[in-house]
């Protein structure tokens, strides 16, 4: 996708890495503006989480008149995992487990943003000189649209990844569990010396990922513990919801196989063991704590003595805060908007009811700022709390409640909760159909989410039943070249390819179309 140059920052007097994205990918054209927006969004999201296992993003520039699209990043010196795997012999089991555990630590923070890597592979993992594992190229796949394979007009699949999850191959919803599948491929290779599937032909490789069971590790390397082998098999489950729930869960299952802490190990000894990924586990690198279920802030109870003791927050201040925050959102300064509103809401919640119209208005802007900032983990509980308040307010706020329920469903989808998102979107769709035709733009969008989520949770017959009429409606409303139409068409082709392989004919599921 581009080149990485060694650069020098004369202001801060340090070496940096300058990642240039190929000019032909950023040449002005019909997709250039979309690329620019994706690049800006992904660079912002990637910069949100701070972890020693991810090179810091110092700057991101989109300048078609000068150097095109590039990122200025922390320079990391070490060995790519690809090069380590190329060394003679198999890696020690503690090495393999230490690499996977450190990747889990990174993913636990990334998925909380949420950022899904989409292209996790040995080429994107580096072991630094101190043994710290670095995960590279977060966001690049999303920016360039390379997280899924492409289909030609004839249904021929081109392009592949040796570590790509079945749902990515099928153009279904990508979630944190897609990264866990790739991690399973990598851990298998670290333990066995080769990936779980090694076919040279791209189509056969995709078939293997979608349908073939990996070779048992115990037959490839006798000293692999059965519990470790079970973990690899769970990570390589074909259906996302059959994999471990989170990177934290994978980390917990790796802990028994990590090297024990060694307080006697000296600094000099650590320096002699360059690129040894077991080193950091002399003082274990834990993943991010599991998220709590509490909302962004907790309003004070109506009868709390704190309410009367807290200073009043006048209406004028709330109105001014809402206007200022809305302006910041309009300027795409989402983090500033949410931060400012959190301070106001925390003070107002001590003296006002959360259901007051002014408070609801502030919370709607706050949730929108979080949502636009791709901070779905924090936006979700806020939208869910707003749904309760707005539904309790009666029919007059029904439209707002439905909007918040739809936003919450989208948050769940982005956070990888495909089943929860599907249930929410189906409920939203039922309500929308009471007053809107199926051809309405918003209804079409929700129908598309429902169909693709049905595919993601492996309910293929229901997915076809939802996607076929949707495809006809999208053709009528937007035409064959619209991205939404193409996405649904690709999903139907992939379902047919999958079902024809397992049943001998796609007709049983997809019908004549």
Please determine, for residue 454, whether its predicted confidence score (pLDDT) is greater than 80. yes
Q: What percentage of residues in the chain have a pLDDT greater than 90?
A: 42
Q: What is the pLDDT of residue 306?
A: 42
Q: Are 215 and 202 in contact (CB under 8 A)?
A: no
Return the minimum-mean-pLDDT range out of 75-79, 157-161, 178-182, 371-375.
157-161
- pLDDT tier for residue 175 given thresholds of 50, 70 and 90: confident
Residue-level pLDDT at 48: 74
Residue 315 a catalytic site member: no
Range with the lowest mean pLDDT among 26-40, 113-127, 260-274? 260-274
Window from 36-40, 142-146, 501-505 with minimum mean pLDDT: 142-146
What pLDDT, on a 0 to 100 scale, did the predictor assign at position 499? Answer: 77
* Residue range 141-147: mean pLDDT, rounded: 53
- Structure confidence at residue 226 (pLDDT): 94
- Annotate 242-277 with b (16+ C-beta within 10 A) or e (fewer): ebbebbbbbbebbeebbbeeeeeeeeeebeeeebbb
Q: Exposure of 133 by Cβ count < 10 A (0-12 exposed, 13-18 middle, 19+ buried)?
A: buried
For the ranges 153-162, 370-379, 500-509, the maximum mean pLDDT occurs at 370-379
Model confidence at 51, pLDDT cuts 50, 70, 90, reads confident
Task: Average the pLDDT over 446-468 and give the result.
Answer: 93
Provide the pLDDT for residue 225: 94
pLDDT digit string, tens, across residues 292-325: 544 444 443 344 444 445 567 788 889 999 999 9
What pLDDT, on a 0 to 100 scale, did the predictor assign at position 295?
42
Give CATH for domain 78-282: 1.10.510.10
Say whether pLDDT at 75 is over 80.
yes
Q: For position 292, what pLDDT does the model report?
A: 57
pLDDT at position 265 over 60: no
- Judged by average pLDDT, the poorest of 21-30, 212-221, 364-373 is 21-30
Q: How confident is the model at residue 77, as a pLDDT?
A: 87
pLDDT tens string 224-241: 999 999 999 999 999 898
pTM above 0.75, yes or no: no
Q: Is the pLDDT of residue 148 over 50?
A: no
Residues in the chain: 513
Instruction: Classify domain 305-510 at the CATH superfamily level.
Output: Tetratricopeptide repeat domain (1.25.40.10)
- Select which of 119, 137, 147, 458 is catalytic: 119
What integer pLDDT is reported at residue 116 of this predicted model? 85
Over residues 335-359, mean pLDDT? 88
How many angstroms from the chain centroid is the CA of residue 481? 27
Question: What one-character DSSP code corresponds to residue 24?
Answer: G
Least confident of 143-152, 172-181, 478-487: 143-152
Per-residue confidence (pLDDT) for residue 153, from 0 to 100: 39
Q: What's the mean pLDDT in 1-15?
A: 84
Q: What's the confidence (pLDDT) of residue 500?
A: 73
What does the pLDDT look like over 401-438, one tens digit per residue? 999 999 999 999 988 888 999 999 999 999 999 999 99
pLDDT for residue 510:
38
Considering only 131-145, 273-287, 314-328, 336-350, which range has the smallest mean pLDDT?
Answer: 273-287
Mean pLDDT calculated for residue range 434-455: 94
Identify whether the C-beta of residue 15 lies closer than 8 Å to the C-beta of residue 6.
Answer: yes
pLDDT of residue 314: 87
Which residue, chain included where needed, has tokens 């944190």?
A: 176
**Percent with pLDDT over 70 in the chain:** 79
DSSP string of 373-426, one letter each residue: TT-HHHHHHHHHHHHHHHHHT-GGGHHHHHHHHHHHHHHHHHTT-HHHHHHHHH
Domain 2-74, what fold?
Answer: Phosphorylase Kinase; domain 1 (3.30.200)
How large is the average pLDDT for residues 131-141?
80
Instruction: Delimit the domains of the chain by residue range.
Output: 2-74, 78-282, 305-510
The pair of structure tokens assigned to 155 is 């249904």
* Confidence label for 262 from pLDDT (cuts 50, 70 and 90): low
Q: Residue for token digits 């098999």?
A: 233
């Amino acid at each position: 996708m581009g080149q990485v140059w060694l650069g020098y920052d004369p202001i801060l007097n340090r070496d940096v890495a300058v990642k240039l994205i190929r000019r032909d990918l950023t040449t002005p054209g019909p997709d250039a503006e979309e690329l620019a927006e994706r690049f800006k969004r992904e660079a912002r999201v990637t910069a949100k989480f701070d972890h020693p296992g991810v090179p810091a993003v110092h700057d991101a520039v989109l300048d078609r008149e000068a150097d095109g699209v590039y990122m200025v990043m922390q320079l990391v010196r070490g060995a790519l995992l690809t090069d380590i795997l190329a060394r003679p012999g198999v890696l020690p089991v503690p090495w393999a487990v230490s690499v996977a555990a450190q990747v889990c630590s990174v993913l636990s923070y990334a998925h909380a943003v949420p950022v899904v890597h989409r292209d996790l592979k040995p080429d994107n993992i580096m072991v630094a000189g101190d043994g710290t594992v670095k995960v590279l190229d977060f966001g690049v796949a999303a920016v360039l649209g390379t997280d899924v394979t492409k289909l030609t007009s004839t249904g021929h699949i081109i392009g592949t990844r040796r570590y790509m999850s079945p749902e990515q191959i099928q153009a279904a919803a990508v979630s944190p569990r897609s990264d866990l599948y790739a991690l399973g491929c990598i851990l298998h290779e670290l333990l066995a010396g080769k990936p779980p599937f090694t076919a040279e032909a791209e189509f056969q490789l995709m078939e293997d990922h979608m349908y073939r069971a990996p070779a048992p590790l115990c037959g490839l390397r006798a000293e692999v513990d059965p519990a470790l082998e079970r973990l690899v098999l769970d990570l390589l489950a074909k259906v996302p919801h059959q994999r471990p729930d989170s990177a934290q869960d994978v980390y917990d299952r790796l802990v028994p196989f990590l090297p024990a802490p060694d307080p006697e190990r000296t600094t000099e000894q650590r320096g002699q063991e360059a690129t040894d990924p077991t080193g950091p586990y002399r003082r274990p690198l834990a993943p991010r704590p599991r998220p709590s279920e509490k909302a962004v802030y907790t309003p004070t109870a109506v009868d709390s003595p704190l309410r009367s003791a807290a200073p009043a927050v006048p209406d004028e201040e709330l109105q001014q805060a809402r206007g200022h925050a809305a302006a910041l959102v309009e300027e795409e300064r989402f983090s500033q908007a949410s931060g400012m509103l959190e301070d106001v809401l925390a003070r107002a919640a001590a003296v006002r009811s959360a259901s007051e119209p002014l408070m609801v208005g502030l919370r709607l802007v706050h949730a929108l700022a979080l949502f636009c900032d791709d901070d779905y983990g924090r936006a979700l509980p806020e939208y869910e709390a707003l749904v309760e308040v707005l539904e309790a307010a009666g029919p007059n706020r029904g439209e707002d409640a439905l909007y918040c329920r739809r936003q919450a469903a989208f948050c769940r989808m982005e956070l990888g909760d495909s089943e929860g998102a599907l249930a929410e979107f189906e409920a939203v769709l039922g309500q929308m159909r009471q007053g809107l035709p199926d051809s309405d733009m918003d209804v079409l969008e929700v129908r598309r989410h429902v169909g693709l989520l049905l595919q993601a949770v492996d309910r293929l017959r229901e997915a076809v039943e939802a996607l076929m009429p949707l495809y006809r409606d999208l053709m009528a409303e937007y035409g064959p070249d619209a991205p939404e139409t193409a996405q649904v068409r690709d999903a139907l082709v992939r379902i047919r390819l999958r079902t024809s392989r397992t049943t001998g004919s796609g007709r049983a599921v997809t019908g004549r179309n």
